[in-house]
Amino acid sequence: MSDEKFPGWHGTTILAVRRGGKVVVAGDGQVSVGPTVMKGTARKVRRLTPGGHDVVVGFAGSTADAFTLLERLEKKLESAPGQLARACVELAKDWRMDKYLRNLEAMLIVTDGKDIFVVTGAGDVLEPEHDVAAIGSGGNYALAAARGLMASDLDAEGVARAAMQIAADICVYTNGNLTVEILG
C-alpha cells in the first residue's frame, strides 16, 4: 500500500499452503490504523462459488478495494468456469489498465484447490514456488515459517496454523484470530 495515500494503514497476513492434495488459505483478523487495532475479528479469507466451482480468496490491503476486486474476479470466473488462471490474468489486466481499478490498493491470493496465484495491481499473476504463498504485513514471516514447516509431518492446515501463529508472534499488524478455508 502507498504510505502517501494511506498513512498509518498496515495489516493482514494471508497464507496459502498446498500439501497432501489440499490447499489451505489462512488469514488473520486484525485491522490496524497506525498504532491502533481497530478490529480483531475481520474475515479476510472468502469462499466464492461462481458456476459451482469453489474458489478461495484471501486479501490484504484496503477492504473496499479488495471487495471490488472480489466482485470482478467472480465475474471473470463466471465467464470462464473452471479456468482460474485465465480469470486471474484477465483480472490483473483490467486492474492494471482500467483508470478506476488502477488506483485500488490490495493484493489477492486465489486458489481453486489445485492452483494457487498471487494477483497484484502491477499486472502480476504469480504461481508460488514450494507450494506456499503469503501476502500482507506479516506475509514474509508466515512464508518463511511455512517453508520451514513443510519439512515437518504437519498436514496443510497444521503448517498454515503454525506459520500464522509465528507471524502473529512477530508482526504487530497480525493477530491470532484466524479464518481458515480448506479446498481438496
On the question of pLDDT at 10 being above 80, the answer is: no
Q: Are 57 and 133 in contact (CB under 8 A)?
A: no
Which is the catalytic residue, given 12, 13, 174, 179? Answer: 12
> Residue 64: what pLDDT?
86
Segment 107-122 mean pLDDT: 95
Fold topology of 9-183: Glutamine Phosphoribosylpyrophosphate, subunit 1, domain 1 (3.60.20)
Residue pLDDT, tens place only, 47-101: 999 888 899 999 998 888 889 999 999 999 999 999 999 999 999 999 888 887 8
Helix (H, G, I), strand (E, B) or coil at 38: strand
* CA 98/CA 94 separation, integer angstroms: 5
pTM reported for the whole predicted model: 0.92
Question: Residue 102's pLDDT band (boundaries 50, 70, 90)?
Answer: confident
Question: Can 174 be counted among the known catalytic residues?
Answer: no
Sign of torsion, CA 66 4 30 126?
Answer: positive
Beta-bridge mates of residue 36: 33
Q: Are 116 and 3 in contact (CB under 8 A)?
A: no
Instruction: Tell which residue, 8, 25, 6, has the closest CA to residue 179.
Output: 25
